[in-house]
Amino acid sequence: MKNFFTTGDNLTFTASQIVAPQHASGDTYTNLVGPGEGATTPINLVEDGDPVVIGRIVGVSNMDAVFATDSIVISTRGVYTLSVNATSAHGIHVGETVYIDPVQATLSDNAAGIPFGCALQPVAGGATTTIQVKLFGQTPDSNGYQGGIGS
């Protein structure tokens, strides 16, 4: 019996499962077409191109969500141009790990986050710059999701 299911490069999650960056004015897609879709107010859900995290799975959203129940495709492989903040004075060098904050879904060199990808361009210390990042997809952790089972 063959057990193969999928290559896993693109995974689908419900929008409510996804941690994505906050957008100051709510979801721009909803602002444009929400009333026609039954959404009457701007909402703050994942948008196309957002860096995202679901447990230990990291990637980039391929679509906007209008509702928390929408199915969203997440790419877990590839190179993406994303905004990255170098919090340390030495900055981020080519080949260094970029981390995603598991609460705010922002990218930086803060190792307290979840490993997200590998920087393909540098970021000066203290700066926030758009650079190319090669995705890791998912990363192992001795503690598992949010401190482990039963935490």
Q: What is the reported pTM?
A: 0.82
Residues forming beta bridges with residue 82, ordered by sequence position: 131
Cβ atoms of 82 and 120 within 8 Å: the answer is no
The residue length of the chain stands at 151
CB atoms within 10 A of CB 20: 22
Does 87 score more than 90 pLDDT?
yes
Rounded (10°) CA dihedral 28, 31, 35, 36: -50
C-alpha 93: how far from chain center: 21
Inter-residue contact 84 to 90 (CB < 8 Å): no
Model pLDDT, residue 39: 62
Domain boundaries along the sequence of the chain: 10-75, 79-135
Using one digit for the tens of pLDDT, what is the confidence trace for 12-71?
Answer: 999 999 999 987 665 555 555 555 555 655 567 898 999 999 988 999 999 988 888 899
Closest alpha carbon to 132 in 144, 123, 141, 145:
123
